[in-house]
Amino acid sequence: MKKIGLFLLGSLLLTACENDSKMQFDILIKNANIVDTGSGNIIEGQHIGIKKDTIARIAPYDAAENWMGTQTVDAKDKYVIPGLWDMHVHFGGGDTLITENKNLLPLYIANGVTTVRDCAADISPEVLKWKEQVGMGTLLGPSILTAGPKLEGKNSIWPGDLEIEDEPELLRALDSLDKLQVDFVKITDNALDPQLFLKSIKEATKRGYKTSGHIPFELTINEASEAGQRTVEHMGYMLKAGSSQEAEIIDRFKKGGIDRETAQIQLDQTFDRDAAIAKYRKLADNGTAVVPTFIGSKIISYLEQDDHLSDPELKYLGPGLIKTYDWRIERANKATQEEIEARHDRYRKTVDLLPLVRESGMDIIAGTDAGFLNSYIYPGFALHDELQIFVDGGLTPLQALQTSVINGPKYFDLLDYYGSVEEGKVADLLILERNPIKDIGATKTIHTLIKKTKVYNKGQLNQLLEEMAQMYR
């Protein structure tokens, strides 16, 4: 796969000193309860020694009582987990909103999100600068893994896309992404020819990129997966895939026998649990995961019940970004009562798929769609809401946590460095007041965050939020 570039800094493997009792660390976490993110077990009373940006040593407190730290954090009765990953965010809205987008970065940190996957927009050159600056430690924010501009067809409705309509244009577009040194490739379906969509996945894969995106209605989800698509963005596509007659209905649509609305109704009516599980297992075998992005669907689906105009999180956003919310809100507010009931039903059906997807062996990856355009999905805050929806939808708190801290880095083949609190792993860490294995809501109870050799206590994280609020008053 493509190199992650400046994403990984510092020494990743450190040699233990001969005498553990006299070890000196840059950061020392004392008396911590470590959450084993694989098993859910709690390893109590541990000292965690950090050198540069890497966990150098872990030992029980009684074996490490003489360890010293330049900075020391008392984590008695607290719980340590890896920093959270939000695997679907957006920065965009044009050059006039660059500053407002940059100001979102501290919001992620204040909420314990230490890594984000930027799924494309129209200010990619700036995002790439922020990625480098965060990696160097000169800008406060989460580590950024970015697609740069995404691939689309001609006259795409989305700003900033690389628009292509034939293979030579595809190759030139990928060449441009190579020059930008993006971390993955995103491909969507608004205007892109279905066959060129599949070709785009294959060509990007040949170049060593992981791919993500939407899926053209004319294709089955398995066709995209077999071409090499590695994440399906949004759970709605999994509902379509659960039809026992997906291929036949899509074939009738392509031949002009039915229109799209009729095809969609038929797909929904022919959902079958056994057919869904069988297809999902094929996706799992191919290494295709899903990023559900439930929180945005929930907000729009129930907008008639909560207009979100009194949300306290609005004070952290600039007026320009808030204005980009209008297009979705205006469309949702025009819905008839029948359409409102239909969107409620569709939201519930997609959430109900969670246990089936989990049973199939597919990876579920946490992502929110936070950023411009996507109404009231607040950067940083939204990830906690997404994890809660996962639990409400049938996952255990441990399984929900894994969608972020394990499945996020797994997508990028980075589990050697992230995903658990172990020696040799990058020290992006959260110290929580409560146990997230008992209650996923505990991910909000941040006592301390450690990122890029820096320690932020609860007071400092709250101060970040206050500074953001003051900026727009």
Per residue in 121-140, pLDDT (tens digit) is 899 999 999 999 999 999 99
Longest dimension (CA), the chain: 77
Backbone angles phi, psi at 425, to 5 degrees: -85, 155
Q: Is 208 helix (H, G, I), strand (E, B) or coil?
A: coil
Q: How confident is the model at residue 13 (pLDDT cuts 50, 70, 90)?
A: very low
- The pLDDT of residue 7 is 47
User: How far is Cα 79 from Cα 33, in angstroms, rounded to an integer?
Assistant: 5
For the chain, give the percent of residues with pLDDT over 70.
Answer: 96
Q: Are 290 and 256 in contact (CB under 8 A)?
A: no
Q: Compute the mean pLDDT over every residue in the chain, rounded to the nearest whole number.
A: 94
Q: Is 305 exposed, middle or buried (0-12, 13-18, 19+ CB in 10 A)?
A: exposed
CA distances from 303 to 65, 89, 297, 334, 345 (A): 54, 21, 10, 11, 14
pLDDT in tens, 75-89: 999 999 999 999 999
Q: What are the backbone dihedrals phi and psi of residue 156, each rounded to the nearest 5 degrees, phi first? A: -60, 150
CA distance 177 to 88: 19
**DSSP secondary structure string, 439-469?**
-GGGGG-EEEEEETTEEEEHHHHHHHHHHHH
The bridge status of strand 113-118 relative to strand 84-89 is: parallel
Q: Which residues contact 78 (CB under 8 A, 6 or more apart)?
A: 32, 33, 431, 432, 433, 447, 448
The answer to whether the CB of 78 falls within 8 A of the CB of 430 is: no
Assign 158 a pLDDT band (cuts: 50, 70, 90): confident
Q: Name the band, by pLDDT with cuts 50, 70 and 90, for residue 185.
A: very high
* pLDDT higher at 158 or 423: 423
CB 359 within 8 A of CB 399: no
Contact indicator for 388, 18 with CB cutoff of 8 Å = no
pLDDT at 22: 79
Q: Which residues contact 370 (CB under 8 A, 6 or more apart)?
A: 86, 88, 89, 90, 377, 378, 379, 380, 382, 383
The yes-or-no verdict on residue 299 having pLDDT over 50 is yes
- Which pLDDT score is estimated for 159? 87
Q: Which domains does the chain have, with CATH numbers?
A: 5-82+420-471 (2.30.40.10), 84-411 (3.20.20.140)
Given a cut of 90, whether residue 5 has pLDDT beyond it is no
pTM: 0.95
DSSP bridge partners of 145: 117
In angstroms, the CA 406 to CA 289 distance is 13
Residue 411 pLDDT > 90, yes or no? yes
Cα angle: 191, vertex 121, 415; to 5 degrees: 105
pLDDT per residue over 18-34, tens digit each?
A: 455 679 999 999 999 99
Where is 125: in which H helix or E strand? helix 124-136
Assign 11 a pLDDT band (cuts: 50, 70, 90): very low
Strand-pairing partners, residue 447, are none
Q: Which two tokens stand for residue 355?
A: 């246990």
Asked whether the predicted pLDDT for residue 380 surpasses 70, the reply is yes
From 6-10, 113-117, 283-287, 398-402, the region with the lowest mean pLDDT? 6-10
pLDDT class for 4, splitting at 50, 70, 90? low
Residue 21, pLDDT score: 61
CA nearest 380: which of 123, 35, 136, 85? 85
pLDDT value at residue 371 = 94
Tokens of 357: 């997807």
Residue 18's pLDDT is what? 42
Band (103; pLDDT cuts 50, 70, 90): very high
- Please give the average per-residue pLDDT across 133-162, as a whole number: 95
First to last CA, the chain: 45
